Amino acid sequence: MKTKRSFYESILTKYLPIEYVDMVVALLLVHPVIFKVVKPRKTKLGDFRANIKNKKPQITVNGNLNQYSFLITTLHEFAHLINFKVNGPYVGSHGKEWKKIYSELILPVIELKKLPLDVETALLNSLIKVKASSCSDVNLNRTLIKYDEGQKNHVTLETINKNSIFVLNGITFRKGNLRRTRYYCVELKSNKPYLVNRLAHVKEIKDEG
């Protein structure tokens, strides 16, 4: 019969760098929570919910993340869990209390020195001014997506020229101007405008003529 530790290890080795499995297992053993690896969601990498029917808090993380994104997203959500337990339900979700806890969880990851150098550097820089989530730190996310699999023939939107034609989720767009972190793009078929994340994986359609 598997122990809780061995059960968690058997699952997490599929998603995390092996050197960091014990770190996340320890959090799961100390902080009772329903931890779910779920289908990819377009609007978030993970989430934390305190008020659910079975009364136990719940953390979900997208199962398509590369191992470094999965690690950082998991710790981000554990910071929410610990913040809720320590400071109660009315504390700011990304206030100074959460930032302190998140930093305390991330520093041991950096200090272990088992991350690729570019990820380590980007993660350390992100702690200088902690943002609301890993995906809101453009430089960190730009580094993390280098490790995504299954993106052959795809590039990030920010790397192609203005007015370039590209395909995203089966829809064809023309790239426009940058508006903060998203580009104003127009769907060619309907002429409908969209704001698309600058780091979205897209397939550029080049004129072969």
How does pLDDT run across 58-93, given as a tens digit for each residue? 999 999 999 999 999 999 999 999 999 999 888 888
Residue ranges of the domains in the chain? 4-147, 155-205
Q: Look up the CATH architecture of domain 155-205.
A: Roll (2.30)
How does pLDDT run across 26-43, given as a tens digit for each residue? 999 999 899 999 998 878
* Under 8 Å between Cβ of 24 and 37: no
Dihedral of the alpha carbons of 86, 89, 93, 98, in degrees to the nearest 10: -10
DSSP 51: -
| Residues 6+ positions from 95 with CB-CB distance below 8 Å | none
- What's the CA gap between 119 and 141, in Å, rounded? 9
Nearest CA-CA partner of 37 in 77, 3, 2, 84: 77
Using pLDDT thresholds of 50, 70 and 90, give the confidence band for residue 209. very low
Using pLDDT thresholds of 50, 70 and 90, give the confidence band for residue 127. confident
Q: Does the pLDDT of residue 134 top 50, yes or no?
A: no
In this structure, of 7-11, 104-108, 142-146, the range with the lowest mean pLDDT score is: 142-146
